[in-house]
Amino acid sequence: MATLDVKTALRKGMFVERNVAGSYQCACGEVLKKASLSGHLESKKHLEEFTVQTALEKNIFQQKENETYQCACGRRLKKASLKVHLTTMVHLAEVHARKLWIKPGENTEPDDVNVTSTDDEEDEDVLDLDGQFKRCSYCKERFPNDESLAKHMKDQKHELYINRNQESLHTTNDSKQQIPPYTVKSDPRGHVYVFNNDFKGSASLRERRGAKVDSQNLKRTFTKMGYKVFLMENLGAERMKEEVAKIRDDPSLAFVDALVMVILSHGKRPYKCQAQDGATLDIREIRRNFTPSMCPNFKDKPKIFLMNYCRGKERQTVQTDGIEATRDMATIYATQHGVSALRNRREGTHFVKALCSVLRKYAASDTLRTIYLKLEKEMKQNKGTTPQWEDDAFRDFYFMPTVASAGM
């Protein structure tokens, strides 16, 4: 396994600071001084602890069906992905929280954790993990001492997390029922597929000048948000259908927590757009590729469709008889029924420009529904069209589970 530099290892959580000044605990179990961290990362003992074979021997990975492995941190992976997964932040957080490096029979400490609470904030419990770490009972973050925990309690990020949980509480006539938002913990957070047609050289359709700007803007914005972006430009109808089918059947979807599909093209009707060759594509048929039975790898996960094309003048009723219902889907159109979409030749479409602007500002803090409302406001301020929202049994969704890093 390639060694990490100390800075990266600290950022990833491979080392956690202990109460003792200048003392760090590595995910392999070693307790070290800060000056020893660099040498430790290259040591034989450390490297041996982070091999796939060692993880299998400790039952950190357990083999499941279809040649997949379940990690003790909860992730389901293919064997080829196990080595990389060992140093991801999701995995290392669980290593420290549950002491996964300790072999069976070596742990002589009690499994129970002590629960304490402050006198003046009775509902803000703190979990004391084996006398070394403190954990916030709301967001489950761990801290080396009481001082850092107290600072965390007053931090805006912490308040944001509490507000999110409160947003998810829905009251019924009988009782209060919590509907949690979608989980977004994977690395990358999700896949973004951008189908963008510019119709350059077409004899019958106007060129969509500025289309390239949209592709670049979307790739830059979603990449900074922690998503993997796939650009598919100027595809004919049959090729686009083939690509959608490949996405639907891609086994890697099982390992990401969100799917975003963007279609930028010409269109004439509310649910139909045109491929690069001028043939018509039905947006409803594209979305039905991702129903639970058609795409089991993405069952119960959020599927977001962002559509920018002219929707013509016809109003069309969606037929559902005899067709499997879509769910966990949200679709945002650049315009409402019967309205043309606007595009600037130099800056791209009004929709993508406003969308990327809003995502940069609010993706780290707001739900997709709230982002849509802010998108509508921004498009209105810039004299753009009014976007339209549709959803099918779609819960709260956050593009980023924590506050965005610098640069967003």
Say if residues 359 and 292 touch (Cβ distance below 8 Å): no
Q: What's the pLDDT at 332?
A: 93
Domain boundaries along the sequence of the chain? 6-98, 191-392
State the pLDDT at residue 134: 57
Q: For residue 98, which of 60, 50, 46 has the smallest C-alpha distance?
A: 60
The residue count of the chain comes to 408
Angle at 380 between CA 374 and CA 383, to 5 degrees: 145
Residue 12 has pLDDT above 80, yes or no: no
Q: Is the dihedral of CA 402, 253, 168, 330 positive or negative?
A: positive
> For residue 237, is pLDDT > 80?
yes
Average pLDDT over the chain reads 76
Quick one: 10 exposed, middle or buried, by C-beta within 10 A (0-12, 13-18, 19+)?
A: middle
Range of lowest pLDDT (300-309, 382-391, 395-404): 395-404
Q: Across residues 293-313, what is the average pLDDT?
A: 85
Q: Which pLDDT belongs to residue 306?
A: 93
Over residues 207-233, the pLDDT tens digits come to 888 889 999 999 999 999 999 999 999
Higher pLDDT pick, 345 / 163: 345
| pLDDT score of 322 | 46
Whether the predicted pLDDT of 193 surpasses 90: yes
Ranges 25-39, 64-78, 105-119, 280-294, most confident = 280-294
Helix 368-381 to helix 350-362 angle (10° resolution) is 130
What would the pLDDT profile of 64-83 be if each residue is shown by its tens digit?
A: 887 888 887 777 888 888 88
On the question of pLDDT at 384 being above 60, the answer is yes
Counting beta carbons within 10 angstroms of the beta carbon of residue 321, is it exposed (0 to 12), middle (13 to 18) or buried (19 or more)? exposed
Q: Please tell me which residue, 201 or 129, carries the higher pLDDT value.
A: 201
Looking at domain 191-392, which of 3.40.50.1460, 3.40.190.80, 3.20.20.70, 3.40.50.300 is its CATH number? Answer: 3.40.50.1460
